[in-house]
Amino acid sequence: MDSKVRNEVKALLISKLLEKLERNAPEAEYKPFFDAIFNKKQIMLASLIQSFYTAFGMSIY
């Protein structure tokens, strides 16, 4: 991969990560099934990671 393209992709990913971290909010507060199985930190982390995947997919394609 060309270094210019690599730097553009890197900058895009960093900007999307920072945007997502600043605007992070759970989609729904009421999740009794997940609350019974996982702790709040695990639920938040999984939600954030899934959100990253979605944001990256939408911004790259």
Helices (H), the chain: 3-23, 32-37, 40-60
**Does residue 61 or residue 50 have the better pLDDT?**
50
pLDDT given for residue 4 in this prediction? 92
pLDDT given for residue 54 in this prediction? 83
Query: pLDDT at residue 26 above 70?
Result: no
Q: Measured between alpha carbons, how far apart are the two ends of the chain, in Å?
A: 17
**Does residue 26 or residue 20 have the better pLDDT?**
20
Is the pTM here over 0.85, yes or no? no
Band (pLDDT 50/70/90 cuts) for residue 28 is low
